[in-house]
């Protein structure tokens, strides 16, 4: 499989190249040249497979040419055979229509583990093959950071620099990153928002002072391999509802548009998805873009769903590319306009293409708290606030045919946000034993100002080196 940049001018790469490169050299994001398509009969044959075997079948066309079947099988079984829950991503029923897809059974209690545990293995495989090292630079609003650090801590061939916005992640999220003691892990808190951190990371990919010295890679969802691994749980859940003979709708709490874009990919592959509901908090650029065609970023507001306090949503570019006729040059121009004005109108084909599958909703803090209360009182489920944003959207979604199961992606364990959960429900969720003694361990992180140069220089000065 070949991968193309959404901005049209970076070289096409195979899966191995796209995984190690992360962000394309023209600033675009990699996407498969075409969507592999499964027939209804092929989807039916997936019923009853273990999660690991399903992952092999879904990922195989995407990795073709870069991983042999036996290599892919070994990786999928290594990651998913012992994942914290036998089903890896189990479903929980709320009522006759609504379900939760629990994505938080991995080591760091958020959906990011499902893909990042796989990405850690992919890095190891490809770097060993090339006898190379990689310096990862990443940005996190809380969950990607801990999941990525868990996936690569102590590994020989990678080191990781993870930027988080100072005081804008939960205490559990921060400690899951900053208490990890491994020589290849560097945590940096920057003054500003997640968007600032993400901008610094993307700029490093285009900065010769960095790329001329270090081979840098990405763990954020700008890395295609992340999304590929997330497609699997849409199939795993829809099959349980009878796919391909029955359609399912999903409500996805959204920030960087990665998780919900994985649902879009599943639909392009032939999975009958009736609707994808993009659920945002008050940082609602995606809701406004889908509703009015106006993609314009405001200031980020801190909320009880900090992982979704995002205004510039990386993966939306992938959707605009795919829906807008895959015209890289035109999209590069459109994105240049956005970089200059922090605002851009969508084209008609982008709007119409998106409207075929997506709908959207926005939840403020009261809506979110009410959704947490509803889940607890009506269904006995204590859910995290991000999941609450998704559930609010699911409960208020229209345009979904009666009788269609609506699945809300439960993206984090409630204990990661226990203060907000307790305030809404009166229940203080306990931290699962698998995260260990987080509050008894010492924290280590560098605190930097908000300027790009300080971040870049810190990385250059502290990198053990990955060669060029
Ligand atoms: C708990 C949680 N829910 C939802 C999201 C949103 O996911 P995405 O950025 O893939 O849209 C994130 C992070 O982005 C998250 O950490
Ligand atoms: N919510 C994320 C933000 C980064 O998103 P990513 O999916 O692009 O890595 C986080 O928790 O860090």
ipTM: 0.99
Is 466 a residue whose pLDDT tops 80? no
Specify the ligand 1 atom closest to the Cα of 386: 3
Residues in the chain: 468
Q: Measured between alpha carbons, how far is 257 from 117 in angstroms, rounded to an integer?
A: 20
Single out the catalytic residue among 112, 202, 291, 378.
112
Sequence-distant (6+) residues with CB within 8 A of 184 are: 152, 153, 154, 155, 158, 159, 160, 464
CA 464 to mean position of chain CA atoms: 28
Residue 464: pLDDT band (50, 70, 90) is: confident
Assess if CATH 3.40.50.1100 describes domain 91-109+224-425: yes
Residue 120: pLDDT band (50, 70, 90) is: very high
Pocket lining for ligand 1, CB < 6 angstroms:
110, 143, 221, 253-260, 307-308, 386, 411-412
Ligand nearest to the CA of 174: 2
Q: What spacing in Å lies between the alpha carbon of 150 and ligand 1's midpoint?
A: 17
Residue 467: pLDDT band (50, 70, 90) is: low
Specify the ligand 1 atom closest to the Cα of 143: 16
Mutate to test the pocket of ligand 1, among 265, 307, 383, 416 (most ligand atoms within 8 A of CB): 307
pLDDT at position 399 is 87
| Interval 339-376: pLDDT, tens | 999 999 999 999 999 999 999 999 999 999 999 999 99
Q: Which segments within 218-375 are labelled E, that is strand?
A: 248-253, 273-280, 294-296, 343-345, 358-362
Question: Cα–Cα–Cα angle for 320, 322, 323, nearest 5°?
Answer: 65
Q: Measured between alpha carbons, how far is 168 from 153 in angstroms, rounded to an integer?
A: 23
Q: Measured between alpha carbons, how far is 26 from 363 in angstroms, rounded to an integer?
A: 35
| Interval 155-195: pLDDT, tens | 999 999 999 999 999 999 999 999 999 999 999 999 999 99
Answering whether pTM is above 0.80, one says yes
Q: What spacing in Å lies between the alpha carbon of 144 and ligand 2's midpoint?
A: 5
Is 460 a residue whose pLDDT tops 80? yes
Q: Measured between alpha carbons, how far is 261 from 266 in angstroms, rounded to an integer?
A: 9
Catalytic residue status for 112: yes
Mutate to test the pocket of ligand 2, among 106, 113, 140, 148 (most ligand atoms within 8 A of CB): 140
Name residue, tokens 């930027």.
Answer: 163
Dihedral sign for Cα atoms in the order 456, 217, 438, 308: positive
Q: Which sequence spans correspond to the domains of the chain?
A: 91-109+224-425
Q: What spacing in Å lies between the alpha carbon of 48 and ligand 2's midpoint?
A: 31
Q: What spacing in Å lies between the alpha carbon of 306 and ligand 1's midpoint?
A: 9
């Amino acid at each position: 499989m070949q991968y193309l940049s959404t901005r049209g001018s970076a070289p096409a790469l195979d899966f191995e190249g796209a995984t190690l490169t992360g962000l394309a050299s023209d600033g675009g994001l990699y996407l498969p040249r075409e969507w592999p398509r499964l027939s209804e009969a092929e989807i039916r044959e997936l019923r009853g497979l273990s999660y690991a075997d399903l992952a092999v079948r879904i990922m195989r066309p995407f990795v073709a040419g870069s991983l042999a079947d036996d290599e892919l099988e070994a990786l999928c079984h290594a990651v998913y055979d012992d994942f914290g829950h036998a089903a890896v991503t189990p479903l929980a029923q709320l009522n006759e229509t609504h379900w939760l897809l629990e994505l938080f059974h991995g080591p760091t209690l958020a959906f990011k583990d499902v893909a990042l545990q796989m990405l850690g293995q992919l890095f190891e495989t490809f770097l060993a093959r090339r006898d190379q090292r990689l310096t990862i630079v990443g940005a996190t609003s809380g969950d990607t950071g801990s999941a990525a650090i868990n996936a690569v801590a102590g590994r020989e061939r990678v080191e990781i620099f993870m930027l988080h916005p100072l005081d804008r992640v939960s205490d559990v999220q921060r400690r899951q990153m900053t208490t990890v003691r491994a020589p290849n892990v560097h945590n940096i808190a920057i003054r500003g928002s997640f968007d600032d951190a993400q901008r610094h990371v993307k700029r490093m990919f285009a900065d010769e002072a960095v790329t001329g010295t270090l081979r840098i890679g990405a763990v954020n969802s700008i890395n295609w391999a992340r999304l590929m691994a997330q497609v699997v749980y849409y199939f795993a859940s829809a099959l349980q509802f009878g796919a391909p003979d029955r359609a399912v709708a999903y409500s996805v709490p959204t920030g960087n548009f990665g998780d919900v874009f994985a649902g879009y990919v599943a639909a392009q592959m032939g999975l009958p998805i009736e609707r994808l509901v993009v659920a945002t908090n008050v940082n609602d650029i995606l809701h406004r873009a889908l509703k009015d065609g106006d993609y314009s970023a405001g200031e980020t507001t801190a909320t009880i769903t900090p992982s979704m306090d995002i205004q510039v949503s990386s993966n939306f570019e992938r959707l605009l590319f795919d829906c807008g006729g895959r015209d890289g040059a035109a999209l590069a121009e459109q994105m240049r306009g956005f970089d200059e004005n922090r605002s851009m109108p969508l084209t008609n084909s982008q709007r119409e293409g998106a409207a075929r599958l997506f709908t959207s909703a926005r939840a403020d803090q009261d809506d979110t708290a009410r959704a947490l209360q509803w889940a607890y009182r009506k269904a006995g489920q204590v859910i995290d606030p991000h999941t609450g944003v998704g559930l609010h959207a699911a409960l208020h979604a229209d345009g979904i045919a009666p009788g269609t199961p609506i699945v809300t992606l439960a993206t984090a364990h409630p204990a990661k946000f226990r203060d907000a959960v307790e305030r809404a429900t009166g229940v203080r969720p306990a931290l699962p034993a698998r995260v260990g003694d987080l509050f008894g361990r010492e924290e280590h992180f560098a605190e930097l100002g908000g300027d790009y140069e300080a971040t870049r220089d810190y990385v250059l000065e502290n990198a053990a080196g990955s060669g060029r």
